[in-house]
Amino acid sequence: MRRVLVLLSQALLAAVPALAQQDLTGEYISMFHEDQPERIPGPALGDYLGLPISDAARAYAEAWDASRMTLKEHQCMVHVAPYIFRGPGPVRIWQEKDQETQEVTAIKIYHGTYQQTRTVWMDGRPHPPESALHTWMGFSTGKWEGDTLTVYTTHMKQGWLRRNGLPESDRATLTEHFIKHGDILTRMSMITDPVYLTEPLVKTDDFIRNTHLDVNWIWPCEPVEEVVTRAKGAVPHYLPGTNAFLKEFQETVHVPETAQRGGAQTMYPEFKTMLVAGVRTASGAVQPVRIQQSQIATDSEIHVIPVRENIYVLTGPGGNVTVQVGRQGILLVDTMSGESSGRVLAAIAKISSASLRYIINTQSGPDHTGGNAALRKTGRMVFAGPGAGALTDAAEGAAIIAHGEVLKRMSAPTGQQSLMPAAAWPTETFFGDEHDLYFNGESIQILHQPSANTDGDSIVYFRRSDVISTGDLFVLNSFPMIDIEKGGSLQGIIDALNRVLDIAIPEFNEEGGTLIVPGHGRLCDEADVAEYRDMVTIIRDRIEAMLKKGMSLAEIKAARPAFEYEPLYGSTPNWSTDQFIEAAYKSLTRKN
């Protein structure tokens, strides 16, 4: 009996949370004297002092124009999880418990600033694959370390390190420690960003319990046309060296330019000694810390990411495949490379055992059509088309639909060897602006986008599911791959991105709503496309300005018009920054 009582007492103790754990539940308001410019008026332009930013982050901020926030795609963007605590709004924290066990499964954090709810999972679940959707608040898991709640967050959208143009990339991660002392809640944060930081950025924020409960907790936002005279597709920014406002902070507070420009060295006491001693580089600036180009972590696994009720995306090193399933069968958008076919089929089998009926190719590249032959033969057409002969022809494989230019690129004139086997060619083509299909109870539009990557690119829009597959018109691992010889153009890429933005409608605060599957990279929404569109448009404007000065291709490459974006997009093995700049140059100087 005594042994039973001991075991029972041990079980009861195990079920009780450690006494050191704090109850963070409550409503808190910011202590506004802390970093006051961040919370209310906004930091001064050009003030990067004490921040371990990279050269790319500084260049991004120096080109940033606050007028960009008047674009419809930017008006309702909110601060990401690391920065939102510096907003003026209140914070509410509460626990969610399992109904049966009463164990804490999650801690919720609601921000009155931008009306954001963040979930910190406490049940030990893993973080999703990198290719899953990124959000403003990210994906957070937590654990208690004594009386401190430690939270780790991934999957955040691009946001601000400081809201004067200093960016935080979508590859950043966040570690936080929440500590409570009476009515004071202290949050210590550490941001690690391989793109825009050279060292972790560590900060603290303090909040005091609010007992009055008399504050506004909502932030409705509806985008409108704020500047009706602005040309469609224009993105406000400063060309390099033209931002006259960058000197204001330095002239007001009288700090040396080398300090004002920030960098890891400005965080440490030794920096003042360096300034006094005159430790400088030949250019007159304190030697910056340089980072290598950021690489997207890749693996050979194909991940199945749920998108909507009957829509999935297969992500892997060979590109993305959109999968629609339903009572009529399976439809695919693109098929990855040929060597990935076995793994693609295995991934599809995890989703559905139905027959493959349709393949839609967004372009002719082997990373989109390489699996056509192997995957097509596992399926069958819905019906035999006109001229197909006996209905038994319907069993010969799934239908492959693409723009007519795709068939031209994949096949070859009579007597010549084609690049792809005939079994991989489209079985159904179109030459107009769009091709419509109704399958699995859903309207599907295949929208031709001329002169983009090539002359045969298409966007696939699942109207009921509200999902867009863009092919390589939008990718997250490289600059746009423009094939001049196959009819591609820089302006065509920009037009395609703006078309996607015209179709997409966010659910709330520029998040969710229409979901977008890029040709390569993670699942996205409108905000992600807007950032990419901005980048391509800004680089176009810079190259055009250089051309007006009479600069040659070699001079333009040396000027590095894509400098701040190189860590994000310039590390693709088969498509370098130089190749992109050269293609953009040829596109902008080509005579029609």
Instruction: Check residue 215 and give its pLDDT.
Output: 62
Average pLDDT (169-194) is: 97
User: For residue 1, is pLDDT > 80?
Assistant: no
Name 276's Cβ contacts closer than 8 Å, sequence gap at least 6. none
Instruction: Check residue 383 and give its pLDDT.
Output: 59
Distance of CA 284 to the CA centre of its chain: 36
Q: Tens digits of per-residue pLDDT, 382-397? A: 754 454 444 444 557 9
143: which strand partners?
150
d(CA 516, CA 501): 10
Name the DSSP class of 408. H
**Structure-block tokens of residue 259:** 């300090």
> Is 582 in a helix, a strand, or coil?
helix
> Strands (DSSP E) along 500-565, which ranges?
515-518, 524-525
Axis crossing angle, helix 577-589 with helix 526-548, rounded to the nearest 10: 60
DSSP letter for each residue of 417-453: --SS-GGGS-SEEE-SSEEEEEETTEEEEEEEETTSS
d(CA 546, CA 537): 14
Q: Which residue is listed with tokens 């600036």? A: 285
d(CA 124, CA 578): 45
Average pLDDT (108-130) is: 95
Instruction: Check residue 298 and give its pLDDT.
Output: 52
Q: Which residue is listed with tokens 């901020």? A: 61
List own/partner pairs for 377-380 with CB under 8 A and 24 or more apart: 377/423, 378/345, 379/329, 379/330, 379/355, 380/355, 380/356
User: For residue 118, is pLDDT > 50?
Assistant: yes
User: For residue 13, is pLDDT > 50?
Assistant: no
d(CA 480, CA 492): 11
CA distances from 531 to 23, 324, 353, 528 (A): 39, 27, 38, 5
**Can you give 281-339 as a three-state secondary structure string?**
CCCCCCCCCCCCCCCCCCCCCCEEEEEECCEEEEEECCEEEEEEEECCEEEEECCCCHH
User: For residue 4, is pLDDT > 60?
Assistant: no
Q: Tens digits of per-residue pLDDT, 31-81? A: 888 888 888 888 999 999 999 999 999 999 999 999 999 999 999 999 999
> Is 276 in a helix, a strand, or coil?
helix
Instruction: Check residue 280 and give its pLDDT.
Output: 52
Average pLDDT (292-304) is: 62
User: For residue 550, is pLDDT > 60?
Assistant: yes
Amino acid in the structure at residue 91 = V
Name the DSSP class of 522. S
Instruction: Check residue 15 and give its pLDDT.
Output: 47
- The model's confidence at residue 219, banded by pLDDT at 50, 70 and 90, is confident
Instruction: Check residue 390 and give its pLDDT.
Output: 41
- The model's confidence at residue 365, banded by pLDDT at 50, 70 and 90, is very high
Average pLDDT (130-158) is: 97
Go through 223-252 and write b for each residue having 16 or more CB atoms within 10 A of its CB, e for each that does not. eeeeeeeeeeeebbbbebeebeebeebbee
- The model's confidence at residue 548, banded by pLDDT at 50, 70 and 90, is very high
Range with the largest mean pLDDT of 141-150, 253-262, 407-416: 141-150
Say what percent of the chain tops pLDDT 70. 89
Average pLDDT (107-125) is: 95
Instruction: Check residue 11 and give its pLDDT.
Output: 46
d(CA 130, CA 134): 9
136 contacts 117 by C-beta, under 8 angstroms: no
Name 47's Cβ contacts closer than 8 Å, sequence gap at least 6. 162, 164, 249, 260
User: For residue 287, is pLDDT > 70?
Assistant: no
Structural domains for the chain: 26-46+53-209 (no CATH), 303-589 (3.60.15.10)
Go through 34-43 and write b for each residue having 16 or more CB atoms within 10 A of its CB, e for each that does not. ebeebbeeeb
Instruction: Check residue 551 and give its pLDDT.
Output: 98
Instruction: Check residue 72 and give its pLDDT.
Output: 95
CA distances from 267 to 58, 191, 270 (A): 16, 15, 9
Say what percent of the chain tops pLDDT 90. 77
150 contacts 32 by C-beta, under 8 angstroms: no
Higher model confidence: residue 31 or residue 13? Answer: 31
Task: State the pTM of this model.
Answer: 0.91
Least confident of 261-275, 278-292, 355-369, 489-503: 278-292
185: which strand partners?
180, 207
Instruction: Check residue 180 and give its pLDDT.
Output: 96
Average pLDDT (170-177) is: 98
Q: Tens digits of per-residue pLDDT, 229-274? A: 999 999 999 999 999 999 999 899 988 888 999 999 999 988 888 7
**Dihedrals phi, psi of 229, to nearest 5 degrees:** -90, -5
Which helix (H) or strand (E) element contains residue 107? strand 104-111
Instruction: Check residue 458 and give its pLDDT.
Output: 98
Least confident of 46-50, 217-221, 232-236, 575-579: 217-221
Radius of gyration for the chain, computed over Cα atoms and rounded to the nearest angstrom? 27
Neighbours of 183 (CB within 10 A): 12
Q: Tens digits of per-residue pLDDT, 306-318? A: 999 999 999 998 8
186 contacts 204 by C-beta, under 8 angstroms: yes
User: For residue 14, is pLDDT > 80?
Assistant: no
Q: Which residue is listed with tokens 């954001």? A: 116
User: For residue 83, is pLDDT > 60?
Assistant: yes
Mean pLDDT score of the chain, rounded to an integer?
Answer: 89
d(CA 166, CA 261): 11
